[in-house]
Amino acid sequence: MSDTLQQPNTQGPSSTAASVEIPSYIQRQSFGQILRNNITFLPVLLTFIVIIIFFAISTNGIFLTPGNLSNLVLQIGSIGIDGLGATLVLLLGEIDLSIAAVGTLGAVVMGVLSSRMGYPAWEAVTIGILAGALAGFLNGILITVIRIPSFIVTLAASIAYQGVLIRLLNNQASLPLTDTSILAISGNYLPDVLGVGIPTAILIIYVLGLIFDYITRGRSGLRRPPIAQLITQIIAVGVIVEGIVALLENAPGPTPGTYLGVPNIAAILLGLILIFWLILTKTSFGRYVYAVGGNLEAARRSGINVVAIRIAVFTLCSMLAAIGGIVEASRGTAVASQITPTLLLNAIAAAVIGGVSLFGGRGSVWSVILGALIIGGLENGLDLMNQGSDTKLIVEGIVLILAVTVDAFIRRAQARGGR
C-alpha cells in the first residue's frame, strides 16, 4: 500500500496536493513479510552453504583446504570484477553482452603496449582500462542517445571487438606478458599485515554502513529489518570474510614452511566492491541509478539527467570489464585473441545469482561476492571431482535458471505486497 494519500480536491484544481503520512512507529512485520523482504539474500547464502558442504564431503575435505581456497579466490577474481560491471547495468534494467569482449580488448591493448612497444606497466594498464571505458562510452551513446536496444548494440560490439582483437595481435593467437609488474597483479600475495588488515578494514566499513543505515531509517520513520536479521547478517558476513582470510593465510607455499597468504586479486576485488558500494549508497549518482532502473519515466520527470546516468553506467561497466580482463591476463601470463566463451555467462550469472534483479532497480554490489563464490565454487568443486566442461556448463545453467526464477517470484510477492 502506498504511503502517499491523495487528498480530495475541495477548492478546485489549483489546490490539489498530496500529503505524506509518516507513522510515528515502525510496525512489526509478520514472518511472511520478513521472508518476502529478505528472500533475495537467504537463498543465496543457503545455496553457498550447501555447495560447501557437498563438495567438502564429495572431495574428502580437499575443497576446504587452504591451498584450494587460495586457488578459488584466484579463479573468481575476474568473474567478480566483471560481475560488478554487469551489476551496474542490470540495476538500470539493461544488459551488456560485450563485457567479455571489452575485457579481452583492454587486456590485449595493455599487452601490445607492454610487450611489443615497451610501455611501462602503469601506462599500459591505464591505457588498457581507458580503452575499455571508451568502448563503454560508445555503447552508452548508441543506446541512450540514438536509442538502439542495449541487446543489439552490445551484441554487435562484441562481434566487432573480436575482429579488433585479431587485428591488434596481427593474427597471433596469444602474446606472452613479460613485465614483472603486470604479472604481479595476479601472481603476488599481500604481506601478512595487509592480508589480514585490508579485508578486516573493508568488513568494518561495511558493518558500520549497515548500522548507520539501520539507525538513519529508524529516525526517518522508514521500514527497516528486524534487529535479529541485522545481527545475523553481520555475523554471517564476518564469519565468511575472516574465515576465508584465516584459511588463506595458511595456504601452503611452494617450499615447506612457507605460506601464500591473501592474493592481490582479493584486495582488488574487495576494494572495487567497497568503492562502488559507497558510490551507489552514499552519493546522489547512486540514488539516481536505482531511480532510473526502478522507474525510468518517473526519474526523468523528477529532473534526473537520465541520459548522463545511463552513459556513465555503461562506461563504468566496460571500464570494470577491462580491469577484469587485465587481472585475468596477468593470471594467465598472456593475452589472447580468443574470448573466453563462458566469461560473459559467469559475469551475468554472478550478479543474478547474487540477487541483482534482471528488471532493474534492486540489488547490491556485495551480492557479487556470493554469486562469484557460487559460480567459482561449482567449477572448482566439479574440477576436483574430475567432471568435464559439459557437466559444469549444465550445472551453472541450472543454477542461473533457478536464480532468475527466484527473482521472478520475488517481484510477484512484492507486487502482491504493494512494494
What string of pLDDT tens digits covers the 419 residues of the chain? 444 444 444 444 444 444 444 333 334 444 444 444 444 566 777 778 888 899 999 988 888 888 888 888 888 889 999 999 999 999 998 999 999 999 999 999 999 999 999 899 999 999 999 999 999 999 999 999 999 999 999 999 999 999 999 999 888 888 999 899 999 998 888 887 888 888 888 889 888 888 988 888 888 887 787 888 788 878 888 887 888 888 788 777 766 656 677 888 888 998 899 899 989 988 999 999 999 988 888 888 888 999 999 999 999 999 999 999 999 999 989 998 888 888 888 898 888 888 788 777 778 888 888 889 888 888 899 988 888 888 888 888 887 787 777 766 766 766 665 55
The domain segmentation of the chain, as residue ranges, is: 28-188+263-416
pTM recorded for the entire structure = 0.83
Fold of 28-188+263-416: ABC transporter involved in vitamin B12 uptake, BtuC (1.10.3470)
In this structure, are residues 296 and 313 in contact, taking their beta carbons and an 8 Å threshold? no
In 80-220, the DSSP E strands lie at 174-176
Residues linked to residue 18 through DSSP beta bridges, in sequence order? 6
In this structure, are residues 77 and 327 in contact, taking their beta carbons and an 8 Å threshold? yes
In this structure, are residues 201 and 89 in contact, taking their beta carbons and an 8 Å threshold? no
Would you tell me how many other CB atoms lie within 10 Å of the CB of residue 330?
27
